Chain A
Amino acid sequence: MSGFLKLLFRNRLAAMGALVLMIILALILIAPLLPLQDPDVTATADRFKRPFADGHLLGTDHLGRDLLSRLLWGTRLSLAVGIAAALIAAAIGSAIGITAGYFGGRTDNIIMRGVDMLMAFPYILLALAIVAALGPGLMNALIAVAAVNVPFFARNIRGVTVGLAGREFIDAARLAGKGHMRIILTELLPNVLPVIIIAMSTTVGWMILETAGLSFLGLGSQPPQADLGSMLGEARSALISHPHTSIVPGIMIFLIVMSINLLGDGVRDALDPRLRSGALSRPRATTLVERTGDIPARTDDLLAIQDLHTEFHVGSRIYRAVGGVSLAVKPGECLGVIGESGSGKSVTALSVMGLVASPPGVITGGAVRFQGEDLIGAPYETLRRKRGDRVAYIFQDPLSTLHPLYTVGQQLAEAIQSHHKTSNTEARAHAIQLLSDVRIPNAAARADNYPHELSGGMRQRVGIAMALANEPDVIIADEPTTALDVTVQAQILSLLDDLRRDRGLAIIFITHDFGVVAQLCDRVAVMYAGRIVEEGQTQAVLDAPAHPYTRRLIACVPELGGGRRELAAIPGLPPLVDDLPPGCAFAPRCDKAQATCRTGEIALAGTAPRAVRCLYPEVTV
């Protein structure tokens, strides 16, 4: 609770709202003790005195009554009526909601139908109808406002109750022979109460406004009694000649509603854990770059990732997702990057084109060179022109990576038109050609399908077609087959392999599956905790893994027809990258670890293309 309050009042606006509300509440509570004039005593000689006129701090109204006094007493009445309406609406609405939710079935059905019908009214019509039937008056306005808000409570509370009614403790109470009434009062109500209170706190401001509104229309409080609404309503006729009589009650309503709104927003934000993690922040168009240290010199590779550092800054914590990774591909080459989830392989891939979500992602060092040109920190437009045109991505899980509201044909055409000026007809024809290139049958018809209308394998092909749209030089495939079943996976892999041979594509293939690497890749790099621990020709690494981690990873792959053998899972979990141990990150899980493994920096060493980051490798490379 104190943590919640601290969080709430760290929000300056919420604190301000609370302060204003407190001052207003304090003022109206001590109003009877203040040396105020009687709010209802008229003095026609003193009518329409301006604020700060003798003896009247806020002036007087059209009957010469002291405005300050009327304001405080009116606020008292308005708040009292609003809160009373909220209490009544909450009580009746919750009773209805609990009944519907607890008994369920037909009772629920009939009640909720009724509630739906009430909610089909614009609220004021219902309130006006009730006031019309009962006649104008403050009590009747209160009843109308309460009644209008009953459905809101009924629906919310029913939702919560339905969730609770199926729980074990309710069944237990039933088995213990308790009656319905007792179960509702002793078991259900205490659990629902917090929800009722929150719903009430979010609607009370609204109800104060609604009752003020009815009084403004002349349907609520009747003279001489005045709440804020009727003060404003009465002052309206003198709006042009004596505006202060309108402004005074108007500002008060505004202050009350705004402070309640601010406080309510603060409460909602403080209760929402996503805000604290920064997860509600919008990712920028490119990853933030705060590069320190030297920029590595250019090489003649097609694409070279050089000593890349990418971090996530969440609050005061820093997660070093990628800690100095260097990779390179030449045309026509396929490089596999392999590692467990959380090893930093996807972040490495996304860093290439500045696609790491930022916030919280920050690239803090290194370079990514495409044909020698450094892309880290390059202007947005430079990056955009290369994205999808020279370097294209294929993502995992095409259901979430394809836009649900565009047809696949539109999405493909867009990929083309983002880089080439072509007419819509041409782009569409090209899109259909791409779909048949990735062996989607009946491509012309499929182009008009939405992603959700296609199978998983089909969607992945669309993803590949999209990556091929502009005949890029490099494709970065981030676990493109993980979500697919084995036969589809094999088809997709051979498709990629063909494309590589036919078009001289360079592919960076990210996966956690050594079987896939063996099938497709010329070279492989093994990542662990944000760093490369071993690299080399695929066959060499598979035949004689040098790093204990690689050896264990290969041992995890089941062999078809290999007979029954113990599959060796690696004990323990990868370390959290916000708190990496010194020395080898794998040491805590390694059966060969020595004391020396846990100190100092261990270099990636060996004769190219082989290298390993281990003091006691399985084989010397």
Chain B
Amino acid sequence: MNYPNPFADAIDYQRMEQHYDQEALDSLNAISPMTRTQQPIVTGTSVLAVKYKDGIMMTTDCLASYGSLARFRNVERMLKVGDSTIIGASGDISDFQYITYLMDKLMTKEYNANNGQPLAPENIYEYLSQVMYQRRNKFDPLWNALVVGGFQDGKSFLGYVNLRGTTYQSETIATGYGAYIAQPLLRNAVEKRNGEPLTEEEAKKLLDDCMRVLFYRDARSLNKLQRATVTAAGVNISEPYSLETEWAFAENIRGYGA
């Protein structure tokens, strides 16, 4: 005798279900999980800053690169916050624009509080470093290295904070490629003075010299830069300007394809 299997339907159904599940799984696999910023896209290169006699001097160039493409050539990478603070940014430009928005929000709040006590550079620095640190703890960092310069009540302030929330304050600060090339030059110039502060002219020349070297060697730099000062007179960001360069020596370079 050949009896029918009483569970045939159930087994068929189970197979169907299994088939359905597999399909669902496949379709789920096709959707990639949500990701956070894992690399910068449009980037700015070095920020240089020094303390000098009257306050802080900072320079950046005006380039926002898309990988190795010089994508945007007229970008301001320094931001005035309040009357005595400036923020210089390297790294992801869109994240910097978000920070610009945050600072604007913060200053609007301060304006409305109207408490006659403006935020000091130290306060803005602390706020920024906490934002950066909290975002790194969410594994969603703001991909920047920021330099905060300020001058208030006769005191200079110069601090650094990066995408991990790491902070330090120093007489000279350089980010990105500048940390390799300009920082030694800056430290050398400052330490040579044995505690005697740089004059405005000296600081200008020092930063220009460093930016020139960076323009020669940093392939993501541009000979169009801005200089900012923070002094008792307030924050001043210059119009873009260029440096004198000398390329005649390039004729004599041999090797590496030349």
Do A and B actually bind? no
